[in-house]
Amino acid sequence: MKKIEHDCILIKKTFLNQDNILLTFQSQIISDTAQPGQFVAIKGPAFLRRPFGIAQVDRSSGTFSLGIRKKAAGTAAFFNTKISDNYSVLGPLGHGFELDGLETLFIIGGGTGIYPLLFLLETAREKGITTYIATGFRSSTDVLLAEEMNRLADGFCLATEDGSTGIKGFAQNALEKLWLDFCNNYRRDFDNSKSDDDKDLVEHSFEKSKTALFCCGPHPMMQKAAMWAKQIGLQCQVSLEERMACGIGICRTCAVAVKREPDAEVIKTDAGAIKNEIDTVVVRQEPEFDYDRCCVEGPVFPAEVVEW
């Protein structure tokens, strides 16, 4: 039987700014098995565990890190943690990003959503995937992990709403700028190709089927980015967040509305047994979509199934 609960010692605390902290825990099994986009559920002083996307793993030292923003009492408690304290951690949990078959990856992140993107960038780099990341913040004082993003990604564009650093605007503006630059470079390389072989080479360097957009951040940001990806024909995966209790799929509280697969209509299977009875059954008004569990089927979903 698999082990789900791990005792993890806090070994490092890095303050990124007053309200953001990176906590590093010891756990060989979590660092060995975690995939980008997965999360852990950690028990602090609050009643329920808190789910956090895994921000970094270091397999050689058997550690993993979580980025935490101070929101309310539950998250604030993690700012008072002490090195060498022991924490009960469930994980790694959920379904992460699918990187198989990708060669070029566009990424958009904002808010606490940028933490799991560190792990994603590192993994993509190991797999030889070219990455372009766009992040957005309110102002220069809110900017997080810019150095790391710049170091790990092949292309990085930062936006702030007040324009105090990077381009002025939202993460979406930064994403569109990265995309435009990418397309222009591609066209220029193609036009400058001297032979047909060169043209083939350039053409091969960008295939839409091997290119994707991954999103992690505030809901409206991801919704907008997913619409944009659909317009230009890029596959898109989004990492969603929902209030959660157990983290392991048993309580059904972290419901995410997803489009129903026509074949998956369960009610059909009882047609035989219930057919004659159906007249007497009060048929309830049920929504058109289904509810998946953010903690098991997610947190990463293909954007096209999400009922925004």
Partner 1 sequence: MVDLSVKVADLTLKNPIIAASGTFGFGQEMAEFFDISALGAISTKGFTRLPRKGNPAPRVAECDCGMLNAVGLQNPGLEVVLQKELPFMRSANATIIANIAGDTAEDYIYITERLAQENIAAIELNFSCPNVKEGCITFGSDPQIIESLTAECVKRSPHPIWVKLTPNVTSISDMAKAAEQGGATAVSLINTLLGMIIDIETRRPILHNNTGGYSGPAVKPVALRMISEVYNSVSIPIVGLGGISSAEDVAAFMIAGASAIQIGTGLLVEPSLPWKILAELPELCRKLKVDRISELTGTLELWT
Q: Which of 13, 43, 125, 210 binds partner 1 (CB under 8 A)?
A: 43
Instruction: In angstroms, give the least distance from the CB of 152 to partner 1.
Output: 33
Structure tokens of 154?
A: 């092949």
Instruction: In angstroms, give the least distance from the CB of 245 to partner 1.
Output: 5
Counting residues that bind partner 1 (by CB under 8 A) gives 46
Residue the block writes with tokens 């009492």: 73
User: By the 8 A CB rule, do 123 and 36 touch?
Assistant: yes
The reply on whether position 176 binds partner 1 by CB under 8 A is no
- In the bound state with partner 1, the residue whose beta carbon lies nearer, of 176 and 292, is 292
Residue the block writes with tokens 């030292």: 61
CB atoms within 10 A of CB 135: 28
Instruction: In angstroms, give the least distance from the CB of 107 to partner 1.
Output: 25
- In the bound state with partner 1, the residue whose beta carbon lies nearer, of 180 and 267, is 267
Site string for partner 1, 245-274 (x = CB under 8 A): xx-xxxxxxxxxx--------xx-xx--xx
Instruction: In angstroms, give the least distance from the CB of 225 to partner 1.
Output: 21
213-222: b or e for each residue (b if 16 or more CB lie within 10 Å)? Answer: bbbbbbeebb
- Give the span between the Cα atoms of 149 and 62, in whole angstroms: 23
Collapse the DSSP code of 145 into the 3-class scheme (helix H, G, I; strand E, B; otherwise coil) and give the result.
coil
- Give the span between the Cα atoms of 182 and 251, in whole angstroms: 44
Instruction: In angstroms, give the least distance from the CB of 219 to partner 1.
Output: 11
* Pick from 105, 52, 70: nearest CA to 215: 105
Residues that bind partner 1 (CB under 8 A): 1-5, 43, 46-49, 74, 88, 90, 242-246, 248-257, 266-267, 269-270, 273-274, 277, 280-284, 286-287, 289-291, 296
